[in-house]
Amino acid sequence: MNNLLDNKIEFLKGVGPKRAAILNKELNIFTFDDLLNYFPFRHTDKSRIHKVAEIDNDNVYYQLAGKIDNIKSYGTPRLTRITATLTDETGSIELVWFKGLKWIKTRFVPQQKYLLFGKASAFNNKFNFVHPDVEDFNPADFTQGESLQGVYNTTEAMKTQGLGTKSVARLVKTLLFQVKDMITEVFPQYILDKEKLISRADAYFNIHLPSDSNMLQLSVNRLKFEEHFFFQLQLLHNKKNRELYVKGFPFKVVGQLFNDFYANHLPFPLTNAQKRVIKEIRHDLGAGTQMNRLLQGDVGSGKTIVALMVMLIALDNGYQAALMAPTEILAAQHLQTIQTLLEKMPVEIALLTGSTKAKQRKIIHEGLQNGTLQILIGTHALIEENVQFKQLGITIIDEQHRFGVAQRARMQEKNDIPPHILVMTATPIPRTLAMTQYGDLNNSRIDEMPPGRKMVETRHLYQHQRLQMIGFLKKQIAIGRQIYIVYPLIHESEKLDLINLMEGYESLLRDFPEPDYRICMVHGQMKAADKDFEMQRFVKGQAHIMVATTVIEVGVNIPNASVMVIEHADRFGLSQLHQLRGRVGRGADQSYCLLMTDFKLTAEAKKRMATMVRTNDGFEIAEVDLQLRGPGETQGTRQSGQIEFKLGNLLQDEKLIKYVRHLVNQMLDEDPQLLKPENQIMKTHFEKIFKKTFDWSRIS
């Protein structure tokens, strides 16, 4: 079937071996089918050319036609910018380039007419176009009847071989007429009807060669739907497969330890959200299959106690538990917290990190192997080969984004039957990422803070308000509070960063002189012992101010510290700012976060500062972060690399993804193996695109 689509691209009329090699190399296009799936990134509307006088909107795309002249170069000795003007009957408008300058400089012939496509941006009360697409104006384009034309991404290497966007468009056109009848449907009729989708063949045809803008929209909708549908099918297929077929230790009982802790040692009533997620986790643990659950909860939402109670369930069922943290400081803090909470209970706990001494290490290894050691807390040191458990029942990974998927996989190998896995993250993950990047995991959210937590009051101050800031800090110290001052890593070199930090530290020493004030300092290049010593000074209240790089970002809990000053706050991403702010507001006092920046800021940085000032809600901040930075840069993104959709868009498709996920879930609930005759067509397509069998019983 469809074998024409599997043909090598070389055999398409107009391609040949030379161009084929370029298409292989530059665009990963090897077959007819690959080219068919190389969608235009936009369409030019040849039926509509705007006039310069019509431009009245910032950030809107316009298509103009006119002469280009008045070319000016800026920057000596290095060319940094070129401007030019495009003129039509109604006026002139400025064009600007910052890249590819040499080429631009000689590109335009005076008196020749050009077609321009680009986004108008408002600048100094005028509009201009930055890096517009410009091509020679060809009147024939406007008489051929095809008003919408696909524009394809091409590379420099392609252009030098005569394979610009127009040539690609021509090749696609040739292809379409040749394979039109081979493009077969992948959805059953009942889905096409219910979702009002146009046929697949029509969609492919019209996304490349739209008959009109309505058909183009329907085509994009249809193909987007298909892309998300099969992506979710894969995720949910994996998830259900695991739930149905991968054995896990059944934690049947909630026993002595859990009940004793709950009844007698709980230091505070759990929030409803904590109760709910414990219930969700317990449900997974009792099911007899392996749990893979993601627990999201903002900084301070109380994940530690949830982790502890879940570990107690493992112990109650005769298993050991491991808690893995990303840094030694955090691992040590977990140990301390958990030891305190379990003080009056008969549970054996140990800490294993890179700096655990050989002698202690040996004792730990023995305890793990004979089962007397029940809870192991540590850094990634605990996934080393030689760490063997008697019966590891659950691994809890704190602060997921620091760990790679590979490390998680290694944890799975600790037993024949894989331990349950609970991944905890303090970085709230935008919903679209939770449904895609983490779509194969179960998801729990602690979306409620423990009672009595006051909002951290956040202010954005400029450098010229420094004196004001220092005065404020002095007042806070006078009423007994402690203060963090955090410096970002600014330079490529650690040495320069250290200098930057030291300069800040010295200037603070002048503002807060001894002996009235005491300042401690922690940074990444200190020896663990020194770091610990300085930390302890702060923890014990011997220092008023802690100057630090982002080593304190994760997990430190000092309730008396109520002010967080972030220097060069614009250098941090939103989720990092939010994490840092989470270090304060842990006690009963009103807490503050001061974001210090220079006066000049990018629009994006301003938005980040404004978001921090506006809200304390980590989930909301995560959504803004995704919008500003895109999925690749967001902290919730899995390290294995982000998903690349052809048409799907994580920033825009939240509703669609949610809907499709629901649909696929429902379908798999009713027909988990896609055995119904009408569903066969999707199974076949699934197996083709993912090159694996859908049939679970054949997966060992």
- By CB under 5 A, name the binding residues for Mg ion: 555
Q: Which stretch binds ligand ADP (CB under 6 A): 47-55, 303-311, 542-550, 633-641?
A: 303-311
Instruction: Kindly identify the residues of this chain, within the stretch 116-135, that bind ligand ADP according to CB under 6 A.
Output: none
Alpha helix positions (H), 400-490: 405-412, 431-435, 466-478
d(CA 290, CA 292): 7
562 binds ligand ADP (CB under 6 A): no
Which residues neighbour 97 within 8 Å (Cβ) at sequence distance 6 or greater? 81, 82, 83, 104, 130, 131
Contact partner, 576, from ligand ADP, Mg ion, none, Cβ < 5-8 Å per class: none
Provide the b/e sequence for 443-466 (b: ≥16 CB within 10 Å): ebbbbbbbeebeebebbbbeeeee
Among 66, 118, 297, 636, binds ligand ADP (CB under 6 A): 297
**482 touching ligand ADP, by CB under 6 A:** no
Report d(CA 586, CA 604) in Å as an integer. 29
Q: Is residue 35 classed as helix, strand or coil in its secondary structure? A: helix
Binding segment for ligand ADP among 2-10, 162-170, 263-271, 509-517 (CB under 6 A)?
Answer: 263-271
Of 305 and 521, which CB lies nearer to ligand ADP in the complex structure? 305
- Kindly state whether residue 299 participates in binding ligand ADP, applying the rule CB under 6 A: yes
What token pair was written down for 182? Answer: 């081979």
Backbone φ and ψ of 134, nearest 5°:
-125, 130
Whether residue 145 contacts residue 13, with contact meaning beta carbons closer than 8 Å, is answered with no
Question: How many whole angstroms separate alpha carbon 151 and alpha carbon 147?
Answer: 13
Only segment of 265-273, 309-317, 591-599, 631-639 that touches ligand ADP (CB under 6 A) = 265-273
Contact between residue 658 and residue 435 where contact means Cβ atoms under 8 Å apart: yes
- CB nearer to Mg ion: give 295 or 435: 295
State phi, psi for 29 to the nearest 5 degrees.
-95, 115
Pick one of ligand ADP, Mg ion, none as the site partner of residue 274 (Cβ within 5 to 8 A by kind).
Answer: ligand ADP
260: buried, middle or exposed (CB in 10 Å: 19+, 13-18, 0-12)? middle
Q: Is 270 in the site for ligand ADP (CB under 6 A)?
A: yes
d(CA 403, CA 397) in angstroms, rounded, equals 8
Q: Is 304 in the site for ligand ADP (CB under 6 A)?
A: yes
Pick what 271 binds: ligand ADP, Mg ion, none; C-beta below 5 to 8 Å, kind-dependent.
ligand ADP
Q: At its nearest, how many Å lie between ligand ADP and the CB of residue 625? A: 18
115 binds, among ligand ADP, Mg ion, none (CB under 5 to 8 A by kind): none
User: What is the rounded radius of gyration, in angstroms, for the C-alpha atoms of the chain?
Assistant: 30
DSSP code at position 240: H
- What is the Cα–Cα distance from 648 to 38, expressed in whole angstroms? 14
Verify binding: residue 450, ligand ADP, rule CB under 6 A. yes
The one-letter amino acid at 254: V
Residues 416-445 close enough to bind ligand ADP by CB under 6 A: 426
Chain residue at closest Cβ approach to Mg ion: 555
CA 142 to chain centre: 43
State which residue, 310 or 543, has the beta carbon closest to Mg ion.
Answer: 310
**Binding positions for ligand ADP, 583-602, rule CB under 6 A:** 586
**Residues touching ligand ADP: how many (CB under 6 A)?**
16
> Whole-angstrom Cα distance, residue 67 to residue 218?
36
Cβ distance to Mg ion smaller for residue 535 or 656: 535
- Which range in 292-300, 501-509, 512-520, 656-664 contacts ligand ADP by CB under 6 A? 292-300
Token pair in block for residue 82: 């070129």
Closer by beta carbon to Mg ion, 555 or else 636: 555
Is residue 317 close enough to count as binding ligand ADP by CB under 6 A?
no
At residue 129, the 3 state secondary structure works out as strand
**Residue 268 binds ligand ADP, judged by CB under 6 A:** yes
Asked if 575 is part of the footprint of ligand ADP (rule: CB under 6 A), the reply reads no
Pairing of strands 113-123, 61-74: antiparallel
Number of other CB atoms surrounding residue 368 within 10 Å? 23
Binding flag, residue 281, ligand ADP (CB under 6 A)? no
The stretch among 73-81, 299-307, 311-319, 465-473 that binds ligand ADP (CB under 6 A) is 299-307
The least CB distance from residue 449 to ligand ADP, in Å, is: 8
Q: What's the min distance (Å) between Cβ of 644 and Mg ion?
A: 32
305 is in the binding site of which of ligand ADP, Mg ion, none (Cβ under 5 to 8 A by kind)? ligand ADP
| Phi and psi based region of residue 2 (left: phi greater than 0; alpha: psi -120 to 50; beta: remaining) | left
Q: If binding is defined by CB under 6 A, does position 557 make contact with ligand ADP?
A: yes
Part in contact with ligand ADP (CB under 6 A); list of ranges 124-132, 163-171, 264-272, 366-374: 264-272
CB-nearer residue toward ligand ADP: 55 or 556:
556
The least CB distance from residue 585 to ligand ADP, in Å, is 10
Residue whose structure tokens are 């894989």: 418
Give 29's contacts (C-beta < 8 A, 6+ positions apart).
9, 23, 35, 38
Rounded least distance, CB 297 to Mg ion, Å: 8
Q: Which is nearer to Mg ion, 326 or 419 (CB)?
A: 326
Residue nearest to ligand ADP (CB): 302
User: Which entry of Mg ion, ligand ADP, none binds 270, CB below 5 to 8 A by partner kind?
Assistant: ligand ADP
CB of 397 to ligand ADP, least distance (A): 13
What does DSSP say about strands 349-352 and 133-136: parallel, antiparallel, or unpaired?
Answer: unpaired
Compute the least distance from the CB of residue 326 to ligand ADP, in Å: 12
Q: In this complex, which beta carbon is closest to Mg ion, that of residue 555 or of residue 585? A: 555
Which residue do the tokens 């790679």 mark? 404
Q: Where are the alpha helices (DSSP H) in 371-463?
A: 405-412, 431-435
As a whole number of angstroms, the distance between CA 13 and CA 15 comes to 6
Question: By CB under 6 A, is residue 305 in contact with ligand ADP?
Answer: yes
Which residue, among 586, 587, 568, has the nearest Cα to 577 in the 3D structure? 568
- Please give the Cα distance from 575 to 611 (Å, whole number): 11
**Which segment (180-188, 237-245, 247-255, 301-309) binds ligand ADP by CB under 6 A?**
301-309
Binding site for ligand ADP (CB under 6 A): 268, 270-271, 274, 297, 299-305, 426, 450, 557, 586
